[in-house]
A = this chain, B = another copy of it.
Amino acid sequence: MVRIDVALVPQEIEARSLSGITAIVIDVLRASTTIACAISNGCDEVIPTTSVEEAVEISRAYARGDYLLCGERKGEKIEGFDLGNSPLEYTEDQVRGKKMIMTTSNGTGAIRAVKAADDVIVGSCWNLSAACGRAVSLGRDILVVCAGEARKFALEDAVCAGMLCERIASMVEADASDGCLAVRRLYAGFRDDIEAALACSEHGRHLARIGFAADIAAAAQVDRVDVVPVLHGGHIVRKFA
């Protein structure tokens, strides 16, 4: 019996042991969607960083043509960076063969916060089936981590977590934590309109206000790509079967 647990905010990670755990990190608006997109479009790897300064410092080790500085603060591209955090920017032309050095407000930090887990998968609506398939194939207990927004609960991540938990529970006999039960019920109420859940969330409304409404519609798409971004030695790479 596999246990499926959910951290509704990243601070919940600290209350758990990550030993023997497969973690799936969700920041559906937008880092985990953007990472799934970039990895699918041939980006070599994503280096998640927690600050602008760290991202710039890491970039110094590489030739200018080999990397992209990526990320956002308050939803907007960081000044001087190559790309922001809209999945729509991460076309094959932009990212193929490149390293992405990335810092976002919530997602990249949440990914780093679970690095002690046995495996770390980046999950989103875009790679629902691929992420769940990989997590179940590993056979371990699963912790789905919602990146949240500024260390607060974010509706969109919880609804996406519920979608993943439902899929995982359909694939394997599972013991559900309270958090898992809650996000599954939450997801059930939005099942027929994931985009509505993303659009009505506080961060979704913020993104629409600053001009990123198209990202919300995009992020709600299910199984648009068939990739599993995984953390390997601190870098996010494509998991090949």
Contacts and interface: CB of A to CB of B under 8 A. Distances in A.
Size category of the binding interface on chain A: 20 to 34
A200 B178 CA distance: 9
A201 B202 CA distance: 28
A151 B12 contact: yes
A142 to B, nearest CB: 15
A154 interface: yes
A11 interface: yes
Contacts of A202: 177-178
A9 interface: yes
Interface in A144-183: 149-155, 158, 177-179, 181-182
A5 to B, nearest CB: 8
A179 B183 CA distance: 12
A14 B151 CA distance: 9
A16 B182 CA distance: 23
Interface in A201-228: 201-203
A20 to B, nearest CB: 17
A122 interface: no
A151 B15 CA distance: 6
B6 A153 contact: yes
Interface of A: 6, 8-9, 11-12, 14-16, 149-155, 158, 177-179, 181-182, 185-186, 189, 200-203
